[in-house]
């Protein structure tokens, strides 16, 4: 038992780990996707903002760029707050900072102006100190300073107002943005993912362990039923086998001068062998029903003929047991869709069970009725009855209300289990009403009546 529990605990742990592992992979992929999507979304929004600022400056500056003026003098007029190469840089806020660059954070953005030959003409005082003066015509650039600060830079072409050809540029405008806030946001998101992932995975692990308990319950229940079934089979087969072997040994030791006693003992062997054969046959039939409840298509079956034939077959057995066996069948033929051999076995088992547990002088009544387009077969006896605590268990394999009496009558303990299996295969409802010492009444309610053919 401890070994079985250990096996189920290991299986439960493996199931929980597999579930947690799969969920961990899914969460990891989801977290990576969220990280990449967030970075891409923020970067796209940032680049659109840079392009918007560049477009605003471009539209403001381009009409003021006539051909023929000295670039330095012109830039001093348009951008009085910008710094010129090799000249002192005035960082006092002026008109360009209050208006032109007032649309953005002054500490976050910088601008640079180049002529058409790529010579630096002017730049913002807050540009990165290590930024090269060599012009790079790439539209987008990302670079990092010695202090580790990253920048994103956008380059656009400027045309003068007198330029008729759009291929002839006046110069270039560069807008750069400090990525410190962007990188801080990415770091914050990654910290959230890094902390949240193991916590979520730990929660998934505990949830997996808890859910695996419910997942293992049907397996545990089936395993216990299998163990119980194996024990019951061993118990049921052990007694007749032991008796059979003892009888054979006695026959082998018996002198041949007593043929009558040998014959009697051989009859005992035959009886035990038949009992074993019936038990094995019932087990195989029950297993076949559970694995393949519908072996062939259903056919219309006349219940009137079935009940009448079985009553005639059991009449002789009832007479020998001094039990009154009667049946009530309506005049109108009643048909149901089903397997005739299985229905025959179902009613036969109920009638045989009723005769076995009814004492001498008792009565067994079989009736066939129609209620609300349903066919009902009822087998009622005046036998020993069944207490309410055992009424649910009597349909289990090898369960007997009175074991001693069942063994004497030759029952295998599988009859009612077969009845329930056949009823479930035919979508029929099986009901029991019983009181101790007052008898029992088994009712099979079949749906879908088929009318008698004309």
Q: How confident is the model at residue 406 (pLDDT cuts 50, 70, 90)?
A: very low
Domain finish residue from 131, 154, 188: 188
Average pLDDT over residues 162-187: 79
Q: What is the tens place of the pLDDT at every residue in 2-32?
A: 666 677 788 888 888 888 888 889 988 988 8
Compute the mean pLDDT over every residue in the chain, rounded to the nearest whole number. Answer: 78
Closest CA to 131 of 117, 116, 118, 146: 146
Same domain as 308, residue 283: no
Q: How confident is the model at residue 378 (pLDDT cuts 50, 70, 90)?
A: very high
Q: At what angle do helices 340-356 and 415-425 cross, to 10 degrees?
A: 150
Average pLDDT over residues 370-391: 84
Q: How many domains does the chain have?
A: 3
Q: What is the tens place of the pLDDT at every residue in 433-444?
A: 888 888 889 999
* Domain of residue 163, CATH code: 3.30.450
Same domain as 134, residue 22: yes
Average pLDDT over residues 346-370: 89
Tell whether the model's pLDDT for residue 373 goes beyond 50. yes
Asked whether residue 200 is assigned to any structural domain, the reply reads: no
Same domain as 278, residue 220: yes
Domain finish residue from 188, 223, 247: 188
Same domain as 317, residue 360: yes
Asked whether residue 127 is assigned to any structural domain, the reply reads: yes
Q: Considering the chain, what percentage of its residues have pLDDT values greater than 70? A: 76
Q: How confident is the model at residue 407 (pLDDT cuts 50, 70, 90)?
A: very low
Q: How confident is the model at residue 61 (pLDDT cuts 50, 70, 90)?
A: confident
Tell whether the model's pLDDT for residue 90 goes beyond 70. no
Asked whether residue 197 is assigned to any structural domain, the reply reads: no
Tell whether the model's pLDDT for residue 108 goes beyond 60. yes
Q: What is the pLDDT of residue 224?
A: 74
Q: What is the pLDDT of residue 92?
A: 55
Same domain as 230, residue 159: no
Same domain as 232, residue 180: no
Phi, psi of 311 (to 5 degrees): -65, -40
Closest CA to 128 of 110, 141, 114: 110
Asked whether residue 119 is assigned to any structural domain, the reply reads: yes
Q: How confident is the model at residue 68 (pLDDT cuts 50, 70, 90)?
A: low
The tokens for 296 are 């062939």
Same domain as 371, residue 229: no
Average pLDDT over residues 110-122: 84
Asked whether residue 393 is assigned to any structural domain, the reply reads: yes
Same domain as 273, residue 237: yes
* Domain of residue 239, CATH code: 1.10.287.130
Phi, psi of 321 (to 5 degrees): -90, 5
Domain finish residue from 288, 319, 346: 288
N residues, the chain: 454
Tell whether the model's pLDDT for residue 222 goes beyond 80. no
Most confident of 71-75, 232-236, 260-264: 260-264
**C-alpha distances in Å from residue 192, one per residue of 83, 186, 198, 318:** 42, 10, 11, 82
Name the residue range of residue 387's domain. Answer: 296-450
0.85 surpassed by pTM: no
Q: What is the pLDDT of residue 140?
A: 92
* Domain of residue 439, CATH code: 3.30.565.10
Asked whether residue 8 is assigned to any structural domain, the reply reads: no
Tell whether the model's pLDDT for residue 306 goes beyond 50. yes
Q: Which of 14-28, 50-64, 170-184, 267-281 has the lowest mean pLDDT?
A: 267-281
Same domain as 347, residue 256: no
Same domain as 102, residue 70: yes
Q: What is the pLDDT of residue 451?
A: 55
Asked whether residue 63 is assigned to any structural domain, the reply reads: yes
SS3 391: coil
Asked whether residue 199 is assigned to any structural domain, the reply reads: no
Same domain as 341, residue 277: no
Same domain as 23, residue 42: yes
Q: Is 18 left (phi over 0), alpha (psi -120 to 50) or beta?
A: alpha
Give the CA dihedral 185, 191, 197, 199, nearest 10 degrees.
Answer: -130
């Amino acid at each position: 038992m401890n070994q079985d529990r250990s096996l189920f605990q290991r299986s439960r742990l493996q199931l929980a780990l597999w579930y947690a592992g799969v969920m961990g992979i899914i969460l990891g992929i989801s977290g990576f996707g969220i990280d990449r999507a967030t970075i891409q979304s923020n970067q796209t929004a940032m680049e659109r903002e840079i392009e918007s600022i560049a477009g605003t400056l471009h539209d403001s500056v381009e009409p003021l760029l006539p051909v023929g003026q000295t670039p330095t003098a012109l830039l001093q007029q348009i951008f009085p707050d910008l710094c010129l190469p090799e000249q002192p840089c005035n960082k006092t806020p002026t008109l360009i900072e209050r208006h032109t660059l007032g649309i953005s954070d002054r500490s976050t953005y910088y601008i640079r102006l180049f002529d058409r030959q790529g010579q630096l003409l002017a730049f913002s005082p807050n540009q990165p100190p290590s930024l090269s003066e060599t012009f790079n015509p790439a539209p987008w650039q990302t670079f990092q300073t010695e202090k580790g600060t990253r920048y994103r830079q956008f380059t656009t072409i400027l045309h003068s107002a007198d330029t008729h050809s759009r291929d002839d540029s006046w110069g270039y405008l560069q807008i750069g943005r400090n990525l410190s806030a962007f990188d801080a946001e990415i770091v914050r998101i990654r910290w959230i993912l890094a902390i949240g992932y193991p916590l979520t995975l730990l929660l998934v692990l505990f949830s997996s362990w808890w859910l695996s308990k419910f997942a293992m319950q049907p397996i545990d229940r089936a395993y216990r039923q299998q163990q119980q079934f194996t024990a019951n089979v061993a118990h049921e087969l052990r007694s007749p086998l032991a008796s059979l072997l003892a009888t054979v040994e006695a026959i082998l030791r018996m002198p041949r001068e007593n043929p009558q006693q040998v014959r009697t003992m051989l009859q005992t062997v035959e009886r035990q062998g038949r009992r074993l054969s019936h038990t094995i046959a019932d087990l195989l039939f029950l297993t076949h029903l559970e694995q393949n409840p519908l072996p062939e298509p259903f056919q219309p079956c006349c219940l009137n003929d079935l009940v009448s034939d079985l009553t005639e077959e059991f009449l002789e057995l009832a007479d020998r047991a001094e039990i009154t066996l009667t049946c009530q069948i309506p005049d109108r033929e009643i048909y149901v869709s089903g397997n005739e051999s299985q229905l025959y076995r179902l009613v036969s088992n109920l009638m045989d069970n009723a005769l076995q547990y009814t004492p001498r002088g008792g009565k067994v009544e079989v009736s066939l009725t129609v209620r609300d387009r349903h066919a009902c077969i009822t087998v009622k006896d005046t036998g020993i009855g069944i207490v309410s605590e055992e009424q649910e268990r009597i349909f289990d394999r090898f369960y007997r209300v009175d074991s001693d009496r069942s063994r004497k009558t030759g029952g295998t303990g599988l009859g009612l289990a077969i009845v329930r299996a056949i009823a479930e295969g035919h979508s029929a409802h099986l009901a029991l009403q019983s009181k101790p010492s007052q008898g029992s009444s088994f009712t099979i309610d079949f749906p879908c009546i088929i009318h008698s053919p004309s």
